[in-house]
Amino acid sequence: MHLTTDQGIPLSHTDDSLRPGPRGPTLLEDFHFREKLTRFDHERIPERVVHARGSGAHGYFQVYEPLTRYTKAKFLQDPSIKTPVFVRFSTVAGSRGSADTVRDVRGFAVKFYTQEGNFDLVGNNMPVFFIQDGIKFPDVVHAVKPEPHHEMPQAASAHDSFWDFVSLVPETAHMVMWVMSDRALPRSYRMMEGFGVHTFRFINAEGKSRFVKFHWKPLLGVHSLVWDEAQKLAGKDPDFHRRDLWEAIEMGDPPEYELGVQIIEEEQADTLGFDLFDATKLVPEEVVPVKRVGKLVLHRNPTNFFAETEQVAFCVQNVVPGIDFTNDPLMQARLFSYLDTQLTRLGGPNFAEIPINRPLAPVHNHQQDGFHRHTIDAGRANYHPQAIPA
């Protein structure tokens, strides 16, 4: 295999720029030199504001038995079908270069490539969140991030601005208890629960709606580090969780989780004694048991970190028929914010055409043009309704 330019032109040499004589200046006509440097200068894209440090894996999901009574979502009907998934685990507060084992919330985001399009279940390893209304989201993130005057501390919440914020916002108390618990120091991504946090809806073929809370239960159980271990590992192996996930899959020991659901009838919601659409609250499992309905298996590592783990774009708005939203004000803010973020981070509205984000289901619409367009549309009709043949 030989080197080529981005245009496929063969290269015989890539170690020296083109010069007129042994000590002459580099010539601007050296298109390979200019292309190579230009591409290098533009290699970086904006990192995520939160969840910047992540680790991902491919796998599949299988439902145990049809959930026809609750939802018409096709990927939850046939136990023989393996729905491909990509999962990204992450820390929240730190930058891409921070350590894995810091005290922090962990992201647990799953992209299901279903027959009906992509379903993104974008959650955390804790069942609640700091705030009730998404309008406060910029404030809580600003408060927990490194302080603006000196950009410290990195990937840690034990600093003045965070404690100033939570002391003035009482609704954060529940989540702070979780963050100060062992759940903020997971032993491994393979030993960590996941939660959808919000209350979603299941809708069946008859149009019957029920509320649902999503859970991920690791088959290895839930295990944590102690604080001294976490601090030492952050210094000795900042990639501890990333390495643990990668090596387990490479050794043929795939992480496995069960998908659990708490089903709440609409008339039952008013009897719980709290607002079901408040993301600072959880539904106790002794009140509404978690029914385990399927298994998630992660059996393949990414081929390229940037192309897959860094470019994957999860959007809360990505739901399939049979799964819907509620009027949770934090969820409603996320429905706007995730798409808005990807437009900037990935360079425009065509980020869904990046291979890791592309649905396996056929895509038919009249979206067109813009930066990074990959689809070559055929036909004259790019509007609806239409009489001209497509």
From the list 96, 100, 91, the residue with the least C-alpha distance to 237 is 100
The amino acid occupying position 158 is: A
Q: How far is CA 210 from each of CA 65, 163, 206, 326, rounded to the nearest angstrom?
A: 18, 38, 12, 11
Q: What mean pLDDT value characterizes the chain?
A: 96
- Helices of type H across 251-352: 266-269, 305, 329-345
Predicted local distance difference test score (pLDDT) of residue 291: 98
End-to-end CA distance of the chain: 41
Q: For residue range 315-339, what is the model confidence (pLDDT) as tens digits?
A: 999 999 999 999 999 999 999 999 9
310 with 342: CB under 8 angstroms?
A: no
Determine if the peptide bond prior to 355 is cis (ω within 30°): no
42: DSSP letter: T
Does residue 389 carry a pLDDT above 90? no
Total tally of structural domains belonging to the chain: 1
The amino acid occupying position 235 is: G
Distance between CA atoms of residues 116 and 118, nearest Å = 7
366, part of any domain: no
Average pLDDT over residues 208-223: 98
263 with 291: CB under 8 angstroms?
A: yes
The amino acid occupying position 236 is: K
Does residue 88 carry a pLDDT above 70? yes
371, part of any domain: no
349, part of any domain: yes
15, part of any domain: no
Q: Write down the pTM of the prediction.
A: 0.96
Distance between CA atoms of residues 46 and 345, nearest Å = 5
Domain housing 59: 54-353
369, part of any domain: no
From the list 198, 162, 199, 207, the residue with the least C-alpha distance to 180 is 162
Cα dihedral angle (280, 285, 287, 292), rounded to 10 degrees?
120
356: left (phi over 0), alpha (psi -120 to 50) or beta: alpha
Predicted local distance difference test score (pLDDT) of residue 390: 63
- Helices of type H across the chain: 31-41, 137-144, 160-168, 173-179, 227-236, 240-250, 266-269, 305, 329-345
Distance between CA atoms of residues 16 and 166, nearest Å = 57
Paired residues of 257 in beta bridges: 218, 296
Q: For residue range 340-385, what is the model confidence (pLDDT) as tens digits?
A: 999 999 999 999 999 999 999 999 999 999 999 999 988 888 888 9
Does residue 205 carry a pLDDT above 80? yes
Percent of the chain with pLDDT over 90: 94
Paired residues of 89 in beta bridges: 55, 108
Long-range pairs for 205-209 at CB < 8 Å and ≥24 separation? 205/68, 205/72, 209/266, 209/324
The amino acid occupying position 207 is: G
295, part of any domain: yes
29, part of any domain: no
Catalytic residues: 51, 124
Average pLDDT over residues 269-293: 96
Q: For residue range 114-173, what is the model confidence (pLDDT) as tens digits?
A: 999 999 999 999 999 999 999 999 999 999 999 999 999 999 888 999 999 999 999 999
362, part of any domain: no
Q: How far is CA 106 from the centre of its chain?
A: 11
Predicted local distance difference test score (pLDDT) of residue 386: 87
Predicted local distance difference test score (pLDDT) of residue 45: 95
Domain CATH for 67: 2.40.180.10
